[in-house]
Structure 1
Amino acid sequence: MAICTCHNLGRPLIVPLSLTKIPSRNCKFSVQSCSLSSNQSQKKLVVEVKEKLGRDYHSLPVGKNGRDDEEMILWFLKDRKFSVDEAVSKLTKAIKWRAEFRVSELSEESVKSIANTGKAYVHDSLDVYGRPVLMVVASNHFPAVHDPIENEKLCVFLIEKALQKLPAGKEQILGIFDLRGFSNENADLKFLTFLFNVFYYYYPSRLGQVLFVEAPFIFKPIWHVAKPLLRSYASLASFCSVETLRKEYFTEETLPTNFRE
């Protein structure tokens, strides 16, 4: 209890100490200490992963997206719930794949021919949640005609391009499949599986949501077969109308051209 004098009444006034206690600076310091401790723990794990990769997988490339890329290491640690062994395992596969696929050599020019089909592109504007948008126009995709390797190169190039558009503080992108005009000629379960495998193994947790827009009846059996193959990413997918896309994901200024009336 604390005792103070009320000058107007001239008698002591008993006030509970809890009402007069001033928050101690130690509380703030404690919160900051926890934050610092967390950051320090993460940095320690990043160093541990980097040293393990350097020691056990010294043949892997270094530099951007290499075995000593601390930003990439931290991302995979987060994806693997900060398990060093699991992060090392997944990172090793990802770095090897990037080298074998020659991701760093992909460019606008190298995918120009297949990109000119209009089957996929990165939208110029972000959605209302600040996410870069990877657009797929299914009716322009013909697996019997287009080279599957070129399709894969375009896919990876566009993922890289979308990630480069991430604003500060944002970590994921939005994938949109425009299924208007979709027919059996456009069906490509193999490529759909490749797309989600790339996200799962090599760009983990980068795909925030997938929208299937105006899916026709013939797409449903394909999705039924594909869904189990996509593992956890299947839960990110939802079906919507053009109207929903317009109202909930874009403004009039940022709406993709192919969805304008």
Structure 2
Amino acid sequence: MAVRLSHPFLSSSLSFPARRRSLQICKFSVQNPIPRSIETQKLVLEVKEKLEIEHPSLPIGRNGRDDEDMILWFLKDRKFQVEDAVSKLTKAIKWRQEFGVSELSEESVKNIAGTGKAYLHDFLDVNGRPVLVVVASKHFPTNQDPIESQKLCAFLIEKALSKLPTGKEEILGIFDLRGFGTENGDILFLKFLIDMFYTYYPKRLGQVLFVDAPFVFQPIWQLVKPLLKSYASLVRFCSAETVRKEYFTEETVPADFRG
């Protein structure tokens, strides 16, 4: 689907800031390895061998072509079809290498994170999922570097996945749309997010909450929804009160959603 850049709601980047912590390089890896049967282990080794033969230049080690937990996750995503898993995993590993995901740190994203437009919440939701919160009204794509926004997004996703409790595989995304205006709209970055979760972090997003969406958000949603495909079913429009009552306890609810 082509997106016309002349649309009044299209800006160039939406981002996700993290709260400041001490300097920390992203050395995150897939948490909670999927239980393996003899058959799935054979498929993992088959993918691993194919990657070694067909893509020997890909990096090895954590999140590399020989990372068996990562291979198994992509096999699961591709319904254990070896060729499909190899293709998608190759794209993901190349992207990680070219984007420099392993070099991302609190320090490298601190400027864009300082806008306060997104962060990883300190607590899990009631379903035991790490929570990414996006404050859309603090995003001004015409004044912010889209690449820096993308780096922040990747950093936060990596950090969220590193916080997964045992037995959990998905994260929760909350888009706080209170105060959202046309100057905050950014189809291109939303498209980037879709690509991230479909290609590079498949099946890691368990649910997306669009909180108190104003009328001006509706045209953007109509443009984005077809791009989401199956991911559209993960989206729930709800109120701040719903977030507070259904997804957190009084002690764990994000400060911006307290009553």
Deviations 1:51-103 (A, max 9, x none): 11001111100000000000000000000000000000000000000000000
Q: What is aligned with 2:77?
A: 79
Asked whether the equivalents of residues 67 and 95 of structure 1 are also in contact (C-alpha less than 8 Å), the reply is yes
**Which residue type is aligned with residue 211 of structure 2?**
V
**Which residue type is aligned with residue 101 of structure 1?**
F
Q: What is aligned with 1:162?
A: 160
Q: How many Å separate the matches in 2 of 1:175 and 1:60?
A: 31
Q: How many Å separate the matches in 2 of 1:232 and 1:141?
A: 26
Asked whether the equivalents of residues 197 and 230 of structure 1 are also in contact (C-alpha less than 8 Å), the reply is no
Displacement, 1:187? Answer: 0.3
Deviations 1:94-148 (A, max 9, x none): 0000000000000000000000000110000000000000110000000010111
Q: What is aligned with 1:49?
A: 47
More divergent stretch after superposition (183-192 vs 224-233): 224-233
Bigger relative contact order, structure 1 or 2 (CA pairs below 8 A, ≥6 apart): 2
Q: How many Å separate the matches in 2 of 1:87 and 1:101?
A: 21
SS at match of 2:93: helix
In structure 2, stretches of 5+ residues that fail to align are 1-34
**Which residue type is aligned with residue 256 of structure 2?**
N
SS at match of 1:258: helix
Q: How many Å separate the matches in 1 of 2:58 and 2:82?
A: 17
Asked whether the equivalents of residues 77 and 87 of structure 1 are also in contact (C-alpha less than 8 Å), the reply is yes
SS at match of 1:126: coil
Q: Which has more radius of gyration?
A: 1
Question: Larger % of helix: which?
Answer: 1
**Which residue type is aligned with residue 126 of structure 2?**
V
Displacement, 1:247? Answer: 1.0
Asked whether the equivalents of residues 130 and 167 of structure 1 are also in contact (C-alpha less than 8 Å), the reply is yes
Q: How many Å separate the matches in 2 of 1:85 and 1:192?
A: 29
Q: How many Å separate the matches in 1 of 2:98 and 2:205?
A: 23
Percent of residue pairs identical: 72
**Which residue type is aligned with residue 138 of structure 1?**
A
Deviations 1:194-215 (A, max 9, x none): 0111010000000000000000
Q: What is aligned with 2:130?
A: 132
SS at match of 2:215: coil
Displacement, 1:228? Answer: 0.7
In structure 1, stretches of 5+ residues that fail to align are 1-35
**Which residue type is aligned with residue 220 of structure 1?**
Q
- Indicate which of 224, 227, 247 corresponds to 1:226: 224
Q: How many Å separate the matches in 1 of 2:141 and 2:54?
A: 40
Q: What is aligned with 1:103?
A: 101
Q: How many Å separate the matches in 1 of 2:137 and 2:229?
A: 25
Displacement, 1:229? Answer: 1.3
- Equivalent residues, number: 225
Displacement, 1:230? Answer: 1.7
Asked whether the equivalents of residues 134 and 174 of structure 1 are also in contact (C-alpha less than 8 Å), the reply is yes
The answer to whether residue 240 in structure 2 is matched with residue 242 in structure 1 is yes
Mapping for residues 68-217 of structure 1, pairs under 5 Å: 68-217=66-215
Displacement, 1:233? Answer: 1.2
Q: What TM-score, normalized by structure 2, do the two folds share? A: 0.86
Q: How many Å separate the matches in 2 of 1:243 and 1:115?
A: 26
